Amino acid sequence: MRVLKAIFKLLPIILTVAVIAYIWSGEHWALWAQTSKIPLPGYLPAYEFSAGTTGGIRIESTTNKYLAVSNDYENEVTPTNEMRPSIPTAVFIFTQMRSGSSFVGEIFNQHPGSFYLFEPLWAAQYYDNGTYNVPEWQLKLLQGIASCEFDSLEGIMDYFLKAPTFAVVQRTPSLTKLCKSYSHSKRGTPNISGSVCPIPRDAVASALNEACQKSQLNVAKIIRIWDINFFEQIVTNGSETGREVKILHLIRDPRAVTASQIRIFNKDEPTPFAEDFVDETKTENLCKQLVENVQTQDGVPDWLLGHYALIRYEDVAMAPAAMTEKLYYFIGTEGDEAVSNWLAKNTNATKPDKNVYSRKRNSRDTVDAWRRNLSLSAVLKIQKICRDALDMFGYRTVQGQAELTNLSLSLVGDMDNNLVQIS
């Protein structure tokens, strides 16, 4: 009896010691994993976020290993847990032409720790009369970006840096800095003539290797790959070397994509564009690729688990600050004040920009711009072709002119909950 009483008296102390030991072991495991540079799981555990005064939101990964983030557009989102230990990460923005990838890419381009490449496959398409515009070299190029190894890509990357028609150096702070380091005027001040990077061809690979390896984050915007399975070997190789690879699958309302593509090639034509401007074959291919490449929580392949997330351009445009925070959290990298400053300056333009390639705009207005640029007959034609894609990604259809032109009526709804998404 006395023994039992003694045990009951000691029970609170025993429990307290056990809890402390448990916490201590967890903290030291995390520290050991970080200092040992062991890759942490590619998926996100369940973390709480604060969201203004309306309560918390949750990354729902306790029941699935994928990703599902939701948030009220008007609320500022701040992670309440510390960022996961960061390892070098390659991010591929996988998308289609005129889907808002220049804007989304700029969210990473403006980060001072980012090594950003704007459409590198453009160089493979046009270098040496298209000799390298084949899957084998496209794969080598993307693998080189993911691993920061450009030794076998000297010719393509030299063309990429120096083609005056593309002017990639002027688009990218990290490349501007790199090229300036190789160019000095007589007074010793870095100087670049026009858009041409002065790095000698035989030094291009080593210069890019070094710049990429020094960066915690290397990002590439990719619009010339049609099948997400193309990235399998790249993601697998990254996992084997301890380098994280993330695929951001960027989509946009196919009506908006089509309107923007028509506008590029018909700049002098008055709007709204009539039904005849809608290329049925191109529109079918656009929406087929959207549906076939999307990943569902019950169908995502093992190699893509934790490496993939779907994002809608409309979500980023309507809540750029909140979505930017979620994007950086997903890739496991700290954001930066420079990114926040760029967003504040470039997402609230008061005047429409007539340059179709501009990255400065009122981002909310771009969501509905297609409703002014397409006729009702053109819209109905696209909707008929793309019904499955519109339903899957939460884009509401219109049936009449009043619905089309009433911009107070949002046509952006909720995506299918089964999609692996950031929203």
290-310: pLDDT as tens digits: 999 999 999 999 999 999 999
Phi, psi of 317 (to 5 degrees): -65, -35
Q: pLDDT tens digit string along 209-256?
A: 999 999 989 999 999 999 999 999 999 998 777 789 999 999 999 999
Higher per-residue pLDDT: 201 or 68: 201
The pLDDT value recorded for residue 11 is 60
Q: Is the pLDDT of residue 45 over 80?
A: no
- Work out the average pLDDT over 101-114: 95
- Work out the average pLDDT over 152-177: 88
Q: How confident is the model at residue 68 (pLDDT cuts 50, 70, 90)?
A: very low
Short-list 240, 295, 325, CA closest to 418: 295
The pLDDT value recorded for residue 59 is 30
Domains and CATH numbers, the chain: 52-113+217-423 (3.40.50.300), 118-215 (no CATH)
Sign, CA dihedral 224-228-233-234, equals positive
Q: pLDDT tens digit string along 338-396?
A: 999 999 998 874 444 554 444 455 567 889 999 999 999 999 999 999 999 999 999 99
Distances (CA, A) of 91 to 71, 177, 245, 418: 23, 21, 6, 23
Q: Is the pLDDT of residue 14 over 70?
A: no
Residue 48's DSSP bridge partners are 58
The pLDDT value recorded for residue 364 is 75
Cα gap 259→83, rounded to integer Å: 39
Cα gap 243→250, rounded to integer Å: 22
**What is the pairing mode between strands 244-251 and 89-94?**
parallel
Helix (H) or strand (E) holding 73: none
The pLDDT value recorded for residue 21 is 53
**Contact of 110 with 338, CB cutoff 8 Å:** yes
The pLDDT value recorded for residue 7 is 55
The pLDDT value recorded for residue 363 is 67
Long-range pairs of 127-130 with CB within 8 A, sequence gap ≥ 24: 127/155, 127/156, 127/159, 127/160, 128/155, 128/159
- Work out the average pLDDT over 60-73: 38
Give me the chain's average pLDDT, please: 80
Short-list 166, 157, 148, CA closest to 219: 148
Cα gap 347→321, rounded to integer Å: 10
pTM: 0.78
The pLDDT value recorded for residue 181 is 84
The pLDDT value recorded for residue 3 is 52
Helix (H) or strand (E) holding 420: none
Q: Is the pLDDT of residue 166 over 70?
A: yes
Q: How confident is the model at residue 187 (pLDDT cuts 50, 70, 90)?
A: very low
